[in-house]
Amino acid sequence: MSSADGIPFLDLAGQHAEIANQLDEAWAKVTSTNGFIGGSYVAAFEAEYAKYCGTSECVGVANGTDAIELILRGLGIGPGDEVIVPANTFVATVEAVVDAGATPVFVDVADDTLLVTAAHIEAALTPRTAAAIVVHLYGQMPDMDAISAVTDEAGIVLIEDAAQAQGAAWRDRRAGSWGRAASFSFYPGKNLGAFGDAGAVTTDDAELTNRIRSLGDHGRRLGTKHEHALSGVNSRLDALQAAILSIKLERLDDWNSRRRAAADYYRELLRGTDIRVLHTAPEATPIHHLEIVRVSDRDAVTSALDAHGIGWGLHYPIPCHQQNPFTRFAHGPCMITERAAREILSVPMFPTITRREVERVCEILIAAGQGSPSGTGS
């Protein structure tokens, strides 16, 4: 098979071609304003994104990791506080907790979705628990009704790490609107991606919004130029990124539904085979940021994909509680996360992937992935 037949893991060029003219116009408009950080393009995107998520507030920040840390600092969560986090997440979730000075408490995930559940959170509560961060990993939300009930009952803060979930929903209520606050990343590869690093916090809490605005702007007292009330950081959204995000936001639902169609086709073709896919609850509207399959002999499958020029990824092969800086916070194994780390494989997924491309990926997966992975299919 020639490399001309290859399929990339993620193709952003196809998306950008659809909005090329608008991107050129936005670039010209922003450069003519002379304002590159904050300003009207940032304010416009913040308003649009809050509306999209169903919250009253949105603050643009420099990236998704800062968004989590600023939420924690804005809520006064730090040294002495425990924050429950899933072991199955990108390290940034945990890193932000540690950088805020709080103690991450790792919990395992459900085997069928690889997401945290209410029961996991409930079992990890202690008198020092200040917050739980749920991660809508791969673009799918866990049972937010059950999780909200547990965090409300315990009197702890619920935070959403929605970096992979722009537009995802649970019972038609969007990611970003369930927790006290939610963090988003607009890293280029996310479903809503900037042309560089960018992020945001959504919330209905206006006071928290003001604290995050101030913390992210060197602790500047809002409305003043020279007064700094807090020792903050520099974490602001660029005007160019905001203008690009506004253009892409108009396309997001369409792009997400094209990903859903591709994901449905993957599921149809893999049904009844040894390749496991993730379960989707009827209440969930996933956005398939990543398309995860589980295979028993991953090396054989990735070799076959390589041989055919098909892109793949691993999200994530080393669980957070086994990463060097965080092992000191581990208090036992997370068996499901650890087993998943050996089996998971991310296959090509992007809005412009064709049915023929999905078929080719599945043919190779099925041919190379013989042998039952542990657990049952879904």
| Binding residues vs ligand PLP (CB under 6 A) | 63-65, 89-90, 92-93, 135, 161, 163-164, 185, 187, 197, 199
- Please report the sign of the dihedral spanned by the C-alpha atoms of residue 19, residue 21, residue 27, residue 32: negative
Give the residue with the Cβ less far from ligand PLP, 55 or 185.
185
Nearer to ligand PLP, 108 or 197 (CB): 197
Measured from the CB of residue 24, what is the shortest distance to ligand PLP in angstroms? 25
Residue 189 and residue 193: Cα distance in Å, rounded?
6
Q: Is 244 or 358 the residue whose CB approaches ligand PLP more closely?
A: 244
200 vs 358 by CB, closer to ligand PLP = 200
Pick the closer one to ligand PLP by CB: 90 or 178: 90
Residue 64 or 104 having the CB closest to ligand PLP: 64
Q: How far is the CB of 89 from ligand PLP (least distance, A)?
A: 5
Query: How far is it, in rounded angstroms, from Cα 251 to Cα 75?
Result: 33
Q: Provide the minimum distance between the beta carbon of 172 and ligand PLP in the complex, in angstroms, as a whole number.
A: 23
The string of DSSP codes covering 18-31 is: HTHHHHHHHHHHHH
The least CB distance from residue 345 to ligand PLP, in Å, is 17
Least spacing, CB of residue 64 vs ligand PLP, in Å: 3
Distance from C-alpha of 230 to C-alpha of 218, rounded to nearest angstrom: 7
Q: Which is nearer to ligand PLP, 184 or 358 (CB)?
A: 184
Residue in this structure with the two tokens 């691993």, named with its chain if needed: 314
Choice between 65 and 214, CB closer to ligand PLP: 65
CA distances from 309 to 2, 4, 153, 358 (A): 8, 8, 51, 14
- Which two three-digit tokens encode residue 18? 């659809």
Q: Give the DSSP per-residue string, 311-357.
A: --B-S-SS-GGGSGGGGGG--S--HHHHHHHHHEEEE---TT--HHH
Q: How far is the CB of 359 from ligand PLP (least distance, A)?
A: 28
Closest among 184, 90, 158, 84 to 128, alpha carbons compared: 84
Please state the separation of Cα 185 from the chain's center in Å: 7
Task: For the CB of residue 201, give the shortest distance to ligand PLP in the complex, in Å.
Answer: 12
Let me know if 357 is exposed, middle or buried by CB neighbors in 10 A (0-12, 13-18, 19+): buried
Q: How far is the CB of 313 from ligand PLP (least distance, A)?
A: 12
User: Cis (ω within 30 of 0) for the bond into 316?
Assistant: yes
Q: Which residue minimizes CB distance to ligand PLP? A: 64
Buried b (16+ CB within 10 A) or exposed e, 165-176: bbbbbbeebbbb
Residues in the chain: 378
